Amino acid sequence: MKSTNKRFITCPFCSLHCDDIEVEINSNKIKVLSEPIKNCTKKIEYFNISDKSNLKPFYKNKSLNYREAIIKSRTLLDKSQDITIVNHGTDVNGVRSILNFATHHNCTVDHINSKYLFKNLGIVQRKGYMATSLTEARNRCDVFLLFGKSILKKSPRLIDKVIFPEQSLCVKPKEKKLILIGEFDKKTIDILAKNYSVRNIKIKINDIPQLMELIQSKSIGKNDNIKAISNIISESKYLVASWSSSDLDVYKNADDVISSISDFILMRNKENRAACMPISGSLADATSSQTMTWLTGYPSRVKFDGSKFIHDRNICDSEFIIENNHTDIVMHISTVGLEKIKLNKKVKNIVIGHPNTTYSSKPDIFIPVGIPGIDHKSILFRTDNVVSLSLDKIRCMNLPSVKNIINDLLMVQD
């Protein structure tokens, strides 16, 4: 008998975790009903089960049952001289269980997006910056600076949830202004300009520091567009600057770009309120950094040395470790990612991944895992690190959580 129900869910698949998405679940197939953004709909429905989904564990192309896969994995892990765990996105309990496992096997633990995290943290450590939350930006911001190139493709609902919401406590939506700075495509700009007050400065990412200095000095010259934008910024009562580090990291001076934005915001606060609001990645980056900070004192890149977690952002860089053969087993954990997992054939690879996980080459062992907020209850942190959201189970696929699998790896006996 087919079961059908409609309900609102909190989406686990980007760092905004929007909680107003209505879906229909028909025989465990999810169909988005109310979500207006095509990118989001595609992402959510990508995780539906199909003929290509891997619902059974395997070892060297041989299908196994769940217990056999756990035993095979434990055997490989027990023989290892060094284990590296790469988090490609999991929930709070998943991160907690990873760290617990690391204390038993002296593992290195890293998040796949750590290099982007440390771009922002580096500025905080060296200079500090003034930050705000999604809710504060939604209700108080009147001028929004958006830097980069692809941030709206990665987090498309920034527009209707934060920048131009239908309702805002302190600023009428029609009075809000958006300024795009960077290499945004013309189609995105034209679509936004039809409905909102939008201006654009097309500029190479590398040149953003010079632009921020120019606007700050007010020595703009004859460029009418930059002059108009400078006036808008000068008249703002609550300015918010937002970017995604992954958008900027392809450029050599990403640190300088972020630093220039932060410095500009600090200077603006001498006259009116202004704040930074970086947008984290879509692989539960904020959840990972928050949970790891509580439990280890460090946001990422740690290793258990037998008595405590130690941190070194260079030595514990999983990409460096794997490329230089400093480990013999890598455990990749992916519950919310669409990206293909890059595997190094020179080491043993165990992938604990959702059924639609893809990889550059076949792992030695694959164990299918449930998706937080889809296959089991979960807690995830929003990009601003202010709010943790509870997600419910909405389908019944009998897929274990990361916590279940890690606990079984610790407890299994032949």
Residues 149 and 264 in one domain: yes
Mean pLDDT for all residues in the chain: 93
For the chain, how long is the longest CA-to-CA vector?
A: 77
Q: What total number of domains does the chain contain?
A: 3
Residues 92 and 176 in one domain: no
Q: Can you give the residue range of the structural domain that contains 304? A: 50-113+283-411
Which residues lie below 8 Å from residue 54, measured CB to CB, with a gap of 6+? 353, 355, 356, 357, 366, 368
In the predicted model, is pLDDT for residue 23 greater than 90? yes
Residues 133 and 206 in one domain: yes
Residues 195 and 300 in one domain: no
What's residue 35's pLDDT?
62
CA nearest 369: which of 358, 383, 382, 353?
353
Residues 126 and 255 in one domain: yes
User: Where are the extended beta strands (E) located within 251-409?
Assistant: 273-276, 302-304, 309-311, 329-334, 348-353, 365-368, 378-381, 388-391
Q: Where residue 386 falls among pLDDT bands split at 50, 70, 90?
A: confident
DSSP label of 176: -
Residues 269 and 127 in one domain: yes
Neighbours of 174 (CB within 10 A): 9
What's residue 4's pLDDT?
65
CA distance 291 to 100: 12
Residues 227 and 315 in one domain: no
Residues 224 and 199 in one domain: yes
**Domain end (from 252, 276, 300):** 276
Q: Where residue 253 falls among pLDDT bands split at 50, 70, 90?
A: confident
CA nearest 336: which of 91, 52, 101, 54?
91
C-alpha 267: how far from chain center: 29
Residues 202 and 309 in one domain: no
What's residue 123's pLDDT?
81
What's residue 414's pLDDT?
54
More confident residue, 94 or 251: 94
Residues 67 and 139 in one domain: no
Pairing assessment for the beta strands 83-87 and 62-63 based on DSSP bridges = unpaired
| pTM of this prediction exceeds 0.85 | yes
CA distance 45 to 142: 34
| pLDDT tens digits along 147-174 | 999 999 889 899 999 999 999 999 998 8
What's residue 203's pLDDT?
93
**Domain end (from 220, 250, 276):** 276
Residues 68 and 198 in one domain: no
Residues 240 and 191 in one domain: yes
Please give the torsion angle defined by the CA atoms of residues 283, 207, 233 and 385, in that order, rounded to the nearest 10 degrees. Answer: 20
- The domain that contains 362 carries what CATH number? 3.40.50.740
Q: Where residue 3 falls among pLDDT bands split at 50, 70, 90?
A: low
CA distance 380 to 208: 33
- The domain that contains 222 carries what CATH number? 3.40.228.10
What's residue 1's pLDDT?
39
Extract the tokens encoding 183: 């290499």
